A and B are shown apart, each in its own frame.
Chain A
Amino acid sequence: MIRPAHVLAAGALALAAAVAFHPGAGPAAAAAAEPPRVNDAAVQQGIPRTLAAFGFFADAPGQVPAARVVPYRLNTPLYSDGAEKLRFLYLPEGTHLAAAGDGLPEIPVGAALIKTFAFGEGAGRRLIETRVLLHRADGWLALPYLWNEAQTEARLALAGARIDLVTPRGEAISYRVPNKNQCKECHGLDGAVVPIGPKARNLAQEWLAAIAARGMIDRVPDGADALPRWEGAADATGGAQVTLAARAYLDVNCAHCHRPGAMASNSGLDLRWEQRDPRALGVMKRPVAAGRGSAGLLFAVVPGKPRESILLHRMASAEPGVAMPELGKATVDPEGVRAVERWIAAMEP
Chain B
Amino acid sequence: MPAWAETITVAPGEGAQERLQEALILAEPGDEIVLAAGRFALTDGLSLDVDNVTLRGAGMEASVLDFSGQQGSGEGLLVTSDGVTLRDFAVENPKGDGIKSKGADDIVYHAIRVTWTAGPRASNGAYGIYPVESTNILVYGSEVSGASDAGIYVGQSSRITVRNSVATDNVAGIEIENSRNAIVERNFVSRNTGGILVFDLPDLPVMGGGNVLVRHNLVASNTTANFAPEGNIVASVPRGTGIMVMANENVWVGQNLLYDNPTAPIMVIAYPMAFDDPDYNPYPRDVTIDRNMVDEGGTDPQIEGAESLLAAFGGALPPVMWDGLSAGEERATLWVHPDLPGWSLNLPAQGEGMAGARPGPLEAPEPGPAISTENWGAGAELEARIR
- Give me the interface of A with B, judged by CB distance under 8 Å: 158-162, 174, 176, 179-182, 184-185, 188, 191, 260, 263, 265-266, 268, 279, 285-299, 310, 319-321, 326-327, 330
Q: Chain A nearest CB: distance from B357 CB in Å?
A: 23
Q: Do A266 and B231 have beta carbons less than 8 Å apart?
A: no
Q: Do B201 and A181 have beta carbons less than 8 Å apart?
A: no
CA separation between A285 and B231, bound complex, in Å? 10
Q: Do A263 and B21 have beta carbons less than 8 Å apart?
A: no
8 further A-B pairs in the complex, CB-CB below 8 A; given A291-B126, A292-B122: A158-B22, A180-B25, A181-B49, A266-B132, A266-B206, A290-B231, A320-B70, A327-B73
> Do A159 and B18 form a contact, CB below 8 Å, given A279-B203, A287-B232?
yes
Nearest 10 A/B pairs, CB to CB: A291-B126, A294-B231, A321-B96, A321-B95, A296-B230, A326-B74, A159-B21, A181-B47, A320-B95, A159-B18
CA separation between A295 and B276, bound complex, in Å? 24
Q: Do B17 and A159 have beta carbons less than 8 Å apart?
A: yes
Q: Do B232 and A290 have beta carbons less than 8 Å apart?
A: yes
Tell me if B133 counts as interface (CB < 8 A to partner A).
Answer: yes
24 contacts between A and B (CB under 8 A): A158-B26, A159-B19, A159-B22, A160-B44, A179-B25, A180-B25, A181-B21, A181-B49, A185-B78, A260-B205, A266-B132, A266-B133, A266-B204, A286-B233, A289-B127, A289-B155, A291-B96, A292-B126, A293-B229, A295-B229, A296-B231, A297-B230, A321-B95, A326-B96
Q: Do A294 and B25 have beta carbons less than 8 Å apart?
A: no
Chain B residue numbers with a CB within 8 Å of A327 are: 72-73
Q: Do B18 and A294 have beta carbons less than 8 Å apart?
A: no
CA separation between A288 and B127, bound complex, in Å? 11
Tell me if B193 counts as interface (CB < 8 A to partner A).
Answer: no
CA separation between A262 and B24, bound complex, in Å? 21
Q: Do A179 and B155 have beta carbons less than 8 Å apart?
A: no
Q: Do B126 and A289 have beta carbons less than 8 Å apart?
A: yes
Q: Do B205 and A188 have beta carbons less than 8 Å apart?
A: no
Q: Chain A nearest CB: distance from B29 CB in Å?
A: 15
Q: Chain B nearest CB: distance from A146 CB in Å?
A: 11
Q: For A286, give its contact among B25, B95, B203 (CB under 8 Å).
A: B203
> Do A268 and B122 form a contact, CB below 8 Å, given A159-B22, A188-B80, A287-B231?
no
CA separation between A289 and B127, bound complex, in Å? 8
Chain B residue numbers with a CB within 8 Å of A326 are: 72-74, 96
Q: Do A158 and B25 have beta carbons less than 8 Å apart?
A: yes
> Do A266 and B156 form a contact, CB below 8 Å, given A159-B25, A297-B231, A326-B73?
yes
Chain B residue numbers with a CB within 8 Å of A179 are: 21, 25, 47
Q: For B205, give its contact among A185, A265, A296, A330 (CB under 8 Å).
A: A265
Q: Do B126 and A290 have beta carbons less than 8 Å apart?
A: yes
Measured CB to CB, the nearest residue on chain B to A191 is B103
- Give me the interface of B with A, judged by CB distance under 8 Å: 17-19, 21-22, 24-26, 43-45, 47-49, 70-74, 78, 80, 94-97, 102-103, 122-127, 130, 132-133, 148-149, 153, 155-156, 201, 203-206, 229-233, 273, 276-277
Chain A residue numbers with a CB within 8 Å of B127 are: 289, 291
Interface centre among B44, B73, B95, B97 (most CB of A within 10 A): B44
CA separation between A180 and B123, bound complex, in Å? 29
CA separation between A212 and B230, bound complex, in Å? 53
Interface centre among A180, A268, A298, A327 (most CB of B within 10 A): A268
Interface centre among A279, A286, A289 (most CB of B within 10 A): A289
CA separation between A298 and B235, bound complex, in Å? 11
Interface majority SS (helix, strand, loop, mixed), chain A: loop
Chain A residue numbers with a CB within 8 Å of B44 are: 160, 162, 176
Measured CB to CB, the nearest residue on chain B to A287 is B231
Chain A residue numbers with a CB within 8 Å of B78 are: 181, 185
Chain A residue numbers with a CB within 8 Å of B155 are: 266, 288-289
CA separation between A158 and B19, bound complex, in Å? 10
Measured CB to CB, the nearest residue on chain A to B43 is A162
Q: Do A291 and B26 have beta carbons less than 8 Å apart?
A: no
Chain B residue numbers with a CB within 8 Å of A191 are: 103
Chain A residue numbers with a CB within 8 Å of B148 are: 291-292
Chain B residue numbers with a CB within 8 Å of A176 are: 44, 71-72
Q: Do B47 and A185 have beta carbons less than 8 Å apart?
A: yes
Chain B residue numbers with a CB within 8 Å of A330 are: 71-72
Chain B residue numbers with a CB within 8 Å of A298 are: 230-231
CA separation between A184 and B103, bound complex, in Å? 13
Chain B residue numbers with a CB within 8 Å of A289 are: 97, 126-127, 130, 132, 149, 153, 155
Q: Do B72 and A288 have beta carbons less than 8 Å apart?
A: no
CA separation between A293 and B231, bound complex, in Å? 10
CA separation between A185 and B19, bound complex, in Å? 20
Q: Chain B nearest CB: distance from A316 CB in Å?
A: 16
Chain B residue numbers with a CB within 8 Å of A162 are: 43-44, 71
CA separation between A279 and B153, bound complex, in Å? 25
CA separation between A299 and B132, bound complex, in Å? 21
Q: Chain B nearest CB: distance from A160 CB in Å?
A: 7
CA separation between A266 and B98, bound complex, in Å? 17
Chain A residue numbers with a CB within 8 Å of B231 are: 286-287, 290, 294-299, 310
Q: For A292, give its contact among B45, B125, B153, B206 (CB under 8 Å).
A: B125
CA separation between A293 and B132, bound complex, in Å? 18
Interface centre among B70, B72, B122 (most CB of A within 10 A): B72
Chain A residue numbers with a CB within 8 Å of B156 are: 266
Measured CB to CB, the nearest residue on chain B to A282 is B203
Q: Do B126 and A181 have beta carbons less than 8 Å apart?
A: no
Chain B residue numbers with a CB within 8 Å of A182 are: 45, 47, 73
Chain A residue numbers with a CB within 8 Å of B232 are: 287, 290-291, 294
CA separation between A292 and B123, bound complex, in Å? 6
CA separation between A315 and B212, bound complex, in Å? 37
CA separation between A118 and B22, bound complex, in Å? 24
Chain B residue numbers with a CB within 8 Å of A180 are: 25
Q: Chain A nearest CB: distance from B24 CB in Å?
A: 7
Q: Chain A nearest CB: distance from B364 CB in Å?
A: 30
Measured CB to CB, the nearest residue on chain B to A181 is B47
Chain A residue numbers with a CB within 8 Å of B205 are: 260, 265-266, 268
CA separation between A296 and B201, bound complex, in Å? 19
CA separation between A297 and B72, bound complex, in Å? 23
> Do A288 and B229 form a contact, CB below 8 Å, given A162-B43, A181-B25?
no
Measured CB to CB, the nearest residue on chain A to B227 is A292
Measured CB to CB, the nearest residue on chain B to A291 is B126
Chain A residue numbers with a CB within 8 Å of B49 are: 181, 184
Q: Do A285 and B96 have beta carbons less than 8 Å apart?
A: no
CA separation between A321 and B24, bound complex, in Å? 22
CA separation between A263 and B72, bound complex, in Å? 16
